[in-house]
Structure 1
């Protein structure tokens, strides 16, 4: 049996009256599982949308259509089916510069040298002083070209 399309309606395994789109079934199952805590249903180990009665689990595990995922990996005995990717050695690049030996200070911007394209936010001032500084910054503002 093929998987239903994402928009196809499927029945909830806990309550057959619930019709849910297949793409939303995971979310619905999590909600319904909380409402049916005492049900004797368990989740299939191969597909979380397969909810079956606990007494039928052994049979379902043997016949589950999603079991091929496990079987296809389990029974590969040789390496002929696995791709082999050759790893190339990293080339060493010779360079004269050594950033570890350079002693430079960290960047400290000079706030007084900010251009007219930057409006400074004044800190530690009263609201009226901040408003005045903001209005002066807007009046002097010149966007970068």
Structure 2
């Protein structure tokens, strides 16, 4: 069982799989003037404003996102926009000549 410490209260130790639910409840109990901010790269990372620059520089999820972005940009040429095909336009007289579902009477 993997246990992690709550970023809001170090006395709170919860299972990693329950951290998100715990953060929602624990964040409600913070004073309105708290100085915690959420990481831009991972929704479960909360740090103090004064530590944000250091956290962003070392955030493991930032490195993953940057690696994904580099991979995506290098392989972007493999993915292209679909080609739009022109729609065939029928003359009104052609439409009248075609069989209509309403005019058919079903099986004989």
TM-score by length of 1: 0.49
What is the 5 A alignment of 1:129-140? Answer: none
TM superposition shift of 1:71: 1.4
**Structure 1 residues 71, 17: CA separation in 2 closer, same or farther (over 3 Å shift)?**
same
- From 15, 18, 21, the counterpart of 2:12: 18
**Structure 1 residues 83, 33: CA separation in 2 closer, same or farther (over 3 Å shift)?**
same
Q: Residues of 2 paired with 1:35 and 1:77: CA distance? A: 40
TM superposition shift of 1:82: 4.4
Deviations 1:79-105 (A, max 9, x none): 4x3473687xxxxxxxxxxxx82128x
Which sections of structure 1, spanning at least 5 residues, go unmatched? 1-6, 88-99, 105-145
Which sections of structure 2, spanning at least 5 residues, go unmatched? 83-98, 104-108
Counterpart check, 1:36 vs 2:30:
yes
TM-score by length of 2: 0.63
TM superposition shift of 1:45: 0.8
Deviations 1:123-145 (A, max 9, x none): xxxxxxxxxxxxxxxxxxxxxxx
Corresponding residue pairs, total: 88
Q: Residues of 2 paired with 1:85 and 1:75: CA distance? A: 15
What is the 5 A alignment of 1:69-80? Answer: 69-75=64-70, 79=74
What is the 5 A alignment of 1:84-123? Answer: 84=78, 101-103=100-102
Question: Which entry has the higher C-alpha Rg, 1 or 2?
Answer: 1
The structure 1 segments of at least 4 consecutive aligned residues displaced by more than 3 Å after TM superposition are: 73-79
